[in-house]
Structure 1
Amino acid sequence: MSQSFVIGFDQAHKERGKITNSLSKLAELLDSNGYKCENYAEFPITTENLSPYDIVVFACPDNSRLSRQEIESIKKWVKKGGSLLLLSHAGGDKGRRSNLSELAEEFGMIFENNQVLDKASNLGVENLPTITDFGFPHPITEGISDICFRAGCSLTISSATVTPVFSSGPNAEPFESPLMLACELGEGRIVSIGSYEMFRDKIMGGINYGSHSQLAMNVFSWLRTSKRTQIDSQSQLNVTAEDGIPDASRNDQGRPAIHTTIPEITYSSTVKIKTDEELFKAFEDMLTEMISFKERMLSEFDNLQTNMANLMRVVIAKEEDLIHTQTYSEPPAAQPPQTSPTQVSSGNNPLDNIMASISSLGDNETKNATPANFNPPPTLAPPPNLEPSYVADQNQSISAPSDYSSRIEPTSTDPIEVKPKKTVPPATQKTKEELKAEHESLENKLNSIRNLSAFVEKKFASGNLTQKNYEKQLKKLESDSKKTRYRIDEIEKLLKK
């Protein structure tokens, strides 16, 4: 490797993975293969202080959060050709009290707050699952035979431009979920892995296990972008062409140092200045205390919001019970009896005996009898198609209940709440900026499909891929390409309107 790529391992967000201890073997491996590993301790992160680095690694931030401004700066730097490696841990952001997933979501990736377990394939413990089947081929898994996904979380894809590199096994929990994702944005590339412990020193399932060393080299090799190669090469040419710049004015990467017209000022003081490590530790402690206080306040607010929501649910449930009780205790008033001139003949009608008994009563008793108090014997069911009133004789009529269903227990009459269906706004309602952003993402996806197609062709030509798998993968890539081109054409037509 003729050009040395500079890799910055972030240290400003209390990462658990450090090249000075837990990731020292990984740093030695990279340094011996033409990379240059450095601690990146700039705070806050800006596009300017990221510019000297080709790849930046966030190896499991712990109890520390990236600001919104830092996330925007990182995204801008990636679009210009920078590459990003995001490493998490079991439990995701919730377990580490960080917001690494918030940064990953900018590129269509989400770290889940879980832990990948496998009782069938592991190194003796279910949270050390082993993987030997990598599914769809990817340059990162080239030459990889087996890995151990030590103490890691799964990921979720939230963008069509993201490609899964490998997933959990069919017997794992969660099963067949992405564990490593890769994507391209603008001129840059991003890889997210749910386990930083895969590359740790001196532990079971760490950097020395199986194909982990080769996997690490494949990851960083894929993260080397042509844009950064071009930038670094141009920088080297500019340094060579500038005759008036002395060697002392160049930094460690061979780039010209930044000059200023401000005169140098020297002074003496009796104040003892602490070392850089002491100052950084004091600042880190103060920042940690401030963030911890903020986290406690946010936690209290979340608890209050949850309690209020639970209280509202209880109140609504009690109100519904009260309405339901009132509905049963206050049945609707009976409708006034209706009369009909239609008479019932004295044939074989089963009510004839009842009508005769009622008509034999005295005049006063007959006048006081009301249909609402009339209850037929329990074994007697009303005949079908009976008229709502009955006549005992020609001179006097006695009304029967107009609706036998009045003896049935009433049901609740509460109106059923119908929630309106959520409608997805059509693509024509998107703004031009949103359409342009989607167009850019789809172009990146199309470029990734081309790269994968070329990679599949190469594997088939070398005899490492069967004819059946070759045709199956090309068919899938062709289908994805057609869908992507169709959507790009749609967006271009909308932008022309």
Structure 2
Amino acid sequence: MNIRYSLIAFLALSLPAAAQQVPDTAFRAEIARPAYAKGTGSVVMIDAGHNNFHTLDNRYRSFGNVLESDGYRMTSGDGPATAESLNTCRIFVISNPLDSSNTGNWSLPTPSAYNAEEIAAINAWVHGGGSLLLIADHMPFAGAAHDLAASFGFEYLNCFAMDNRRRNFERFFHSNGSLADCEITRGVDTVVSFTGSAFRIPEGATPILKLNDYTLLMPQTAWQFEENTPTVDSEGYYQGAVMPYGKGRIAVMGEAAMFSAQLGGPNRTPFGMNRPEARENSQLLLNIIHWLDGRAP
């Protein structure tokens, strides 16, 4: 069995667990020295106005719990992205948006979840000093975020990024260069992600997670892989990066579950920051938020 065919078979077996996720609302991260006193930190707004798969009141409740433990104030953005709405927060988080045509229909085409006016507003807001954390998972989410990311110079591939070693989740280490040695990864030795997307980065961006020895599969419909499913080698692709942009900052990630805490399948298996192997993911999240907040150079 060749690598390409076995990857397709492996991903097909992964579908049931991925489709039965519920939030682990009991998850909390232990933070010895919070960045802010409780409820006094910068406002972090998580988008909920674009059919987002991860929102503060559901799959990203654990994301919010981690940041609230660090003193941040969490809010939801339920409407269009406008200059007025963006100015209510310090950091805007977008996780897995979708165009309305793809809700319940994870097949091509995957139009942008944001219209031209929203993209211009977000871009101008970041350039003027705002901070954006953009997270787009495997197809169709990477397709829905493509145009927004492209306005900053990042190029999402609407794909499933699959480790050629066919592991249940992906590990990134300093030792093999897949986890960058930079300010963002200080205090983090291992990061775990769970079948995300991939993107190219522009000049001036700092990589965080590099995809070494991956195959990027591009199906017509999410989780439906055939022998003729198009593939791309992962050389030059990443799953995490940060970049200054004008007076602001942007962080781009290609996998969303790594910053969640969920329970998957009938046995309620931990999936996300609540997995023992992913215990350092919450520190990476905090490091990214601190950088976006201007608390790190």
Q: Which amino acid aligns with 2:238?
A: P
Separation of aligned partners in 2, 1:156 and 1:38 = 30
Match of 1:164 in 2: 207
TM-score (norm 1): 0.42
Match of 2:187 among 143, 151, 161: 143
Separation of aligned partners in 1, 2:170 and 2:179 = 16
Q: Please say if residues 121 and 130 of structure 1, whose CA atoms lie closer than 8 Å, have aligned partners that are also in contact.
A: no
Q: 1:206 to 1:132 in 2, by over 3 A?
A: same
Corresponding residue SS for 1:137: coil
Q: Measure how far apart 1:222 and its partner are.
A: 0.7
TM-score (norm 2): 0.68
Match of 2:59 in 1: 22
Matching of residue 210 in structure 1 with residue 279 in structure 2: yes
Separation of aligned partners in 2, 1:36 and 1:102 = 29
Separation of aligned partners in 2, 1:222 and 1:110 = 22
Corresponding residue SS for 1:66: coil
Corresponding residue SS for 1:99: helix
Matching of residue 4 in structure 1 with residue 51 in structure 2: no
Give unpaired runs (5+ residues) of structure 1.
Answer: 227-447, 452-497
Q: Please say if residues 98 and 144 of structure 2, whose CA atoms lie closer than 8 Å, have aligned partners that are also in contact.
A: no
The correspondence of residues 35-114 of structure 1 with structure 2, limited to 5 A, is 35-43=72-80, 45-64=81-100, 65-91=113-139, 95-96=140-141, 99-114=144-159
| Rg larger in structure | 1
Separation of aligned partners in 1, 2:144 and 2:60 = 22
Corresponding residue SS for 1:202: strand
Separation of aligned partners in 1, 2:238 and 2:65 = 29
Q: Please say if residues 129 and 248 of structure 2, whose CA atoms lie closer than 8 Å, have aligned partners that are also in contact.
A: yes
Calculate percent identity across the aligned residue pairs.
Answer: 25
Matching of residue 130 in structure 1 with residue 130 in structure 2: no
Q: Which amino acid aligns with 1:155?
A: F
Corresponding residue SS for 2:76: strand
Q: Please say if residues 54 and 224 of structure 1, whose CA atoms lie closer than 8 Å, have aligned partners that are also in contact.
A: yes
Q: Measure how far apart 1:136 and its partner are.
A: 4.0
Q: Which amino acid aligns with 1:10?
A: D
Corresponding residue SS for 2:262: coil
Matching of residue 153 in structure 1 with residue 189 in structure 2: no
Q: Please say if residues 9 and 56 of structure 1, whose CA atoms lie closer than 8 Å, have aligned partners that are also in contact.
A: yes
Match of 2:288 in 1: 219
Q: Measure how far apart 1:135 and its partner are.
A: 5.0
Corresponding residue SS for 1:165: strand
Deviations 1:327-368 (A, max 9, x none): xxxxxxxxxxxxxxxxxxxxxxxxxxxxxxxxxxxxxxxxxx
Q: Which amino acid aligns with 2:194?
A: R
Q: 1:67 to 1:55 in 2, by over 3 A?
A: same
Corresponding residue SS for 2:207: strand
Greater fraction of residues in strand: 2
Q: Measure how far apart 1:72 and its partner are.
A: 0.6
Corresponding residue SS for 2:121: helix
Deviations 1:165-207 (A, max 9, x none): 12023x3224453111111111110011011111222244402
Q: Please say if residues 26 and 207 of structure 1, whose CA atoms lie closer than 8 Å, have aligned partners that are also in contact.
A: no
Q: How many matched pairs?
A: 218
Separation of aligned partners in 1, 2:64 and 2:85 = 21
Separation of aligned partners in 2, 1:97 and 1:120 = 23
Match of 2:225 in 1: none
Give unpaired runs (5+ residues) of structure 2.
Answer: 1-35, 101-112, 216-232, 264-269
Q: Measure how far apart 1:32 and its partner are.
A: 1.2
Greater fraction of residues in helix: 1
Match of 2:250 among 168, 190, 209: 190
Corresponding residue SS for 1:12: coil
Match of 1:200 among 225, 248, 260: 260
